[in-house]
Amino acid sequence: MTSSTYGWRRALIALAAGVGIALTFSLGRWQLSRADEKIALQAALQARENLPPVPATQVAGATAPEQVAPLLHREATLTGEWLPAQTVFLDNRPMAGRAGFYVLTPLRLAGSSAVVLVLRGWAPRNFQQRDALPPVATPQGPVSATGRLADRVPAAFSLGRDAAGRIRQNLALDAFSAETGLPLAHVVLQQTGPASDGLLRDWPPPATGVDKHYGYAFQWFGLCALIALLFIWFQVARPFLRSSRS
């Protein structure tokens, strides 16, 4: 190999290493910036939880995105009557390490025609009879439910389209409103408080994915360091050791 060819080869390797180091370092920095954004989002969510409760009339009128956004993650207490015939059990929803269902029941608000879908809690699955519904009490007459407002029902991974029925995998508000004919508000109340009606409410905190971004940043910075170390060893340290021995 001529000296000029060897020199071009070293230059190309140095260029590739430099590009790789710069790219992986910038990707690591980007993941850290995404983590900072998620931390700020988490702080904003916690601040919203400390705001005064949302009036029921404002919840009932949440029919457009610009009306829904200010309500998210805030507390509300809704009074009305359950519509138990439209109760839905979402399958494959674990809680405290146990398999079971999320139970949703529409609540017709008092003094209004509006209906809000309430994520009432979690009930265990019957493993001897998988299509059996858990014993959930649904009181008749006026009831009150307190919880946090969300813009959708928490979704789980699903293969294909979800079929209608009491037990299903996921539920979309617009589709459920069309299916039942109920004038659903575009918000969901995730009920909080102690266990009642045969339901647990040990909800996990809202996940913002901060740890995921830190993990990705660690991987990118690790790859950056690996490229740098390999370049230094093969292109600097090893040739130097060879020349010093000769």
CA pair distance 129, 133, nearest whole angstrom: 9
Q: Residue 81 corresponds to which tokens in the numbers above?
A: 């009557």
Longest dimension (CA), the chain: 95
Residue-wise pLDDT tens digits, 79-132: 999 999 999 999 999 998 899 999 999 999 998 889 999 999 999 988 777 778
Q: What is the residue type of 173?
A: L
Residue-wise pLDDT tens digits, 56-78: 999 988 888 788 888 988 999 99
Return the domain boundaries, the chain. 3-45+209-245, 74-191
Where residue 1 falls among pLDDT bands split at 50, 70, 90? low
- CB contact set of 60 (below 8 Å; sequence gap of 6+): 109, 112, 114, 116, 185
Per-residue model confidence (pLDDT) at position 11:
85
Per-residue model confidence (pLDDT) at position 85:
94
| pLDDT exceeds 70 at position 4 | no
Q: What is the DSSP string of 215-232?
A: HHHHHHHHHHHHHHHHHH
Q: What is the residue type of 89?
A: F
DSSP, collapsed to helix, strand or coil, labels residue 211 as: helix
Residue-wise pLDDT tens digits, 145-204: 999 999 999 888 776 566 678 999 999 999 999 999 999 999 999 999 999 999 999 998
Q: How many CA atoms lie within 13 A of 48 on its CB side?
A: 19
- CB of 72 closer than 8 Å to CB of 151: yes
Residue-wise pLDDT tens digits, 200-223: 999 987 766 788 999 999 999 999
Per-residue model confidence (pLDDT) at position 78:
96
CA pair distance 10, 12, nearest whole angstrom: 5
CA pair distance 182, 207, nearest whole angstrom: 30
Identify the bridge partners of residue 122 per DSSP, sorted by sequence position.
102, 200
- CB contact set of 141 (below 8 Å; sequence gap of 6+): 81
Where residue 9 falls among pLDDT bands split at 50, 70, 90? confident
Q: Which helix (H) or strand (E) holds 73?
A: none
Per-residue model confidence (pLDDT) at position 67:
87
Where residue 142 falls among pLDDT bands split at 50, 70, 90? very high
Mean pLDDT of 216-242: 89
Where residue 246 falls among pLDDT bands split at 50, 70, 90? low
Residue-wise pLDDT tens digits, 15-45: 999 999 999 999 999 999 999 988 887 787 7
Per-residue model confidence (pLDDT) at position 15:
92
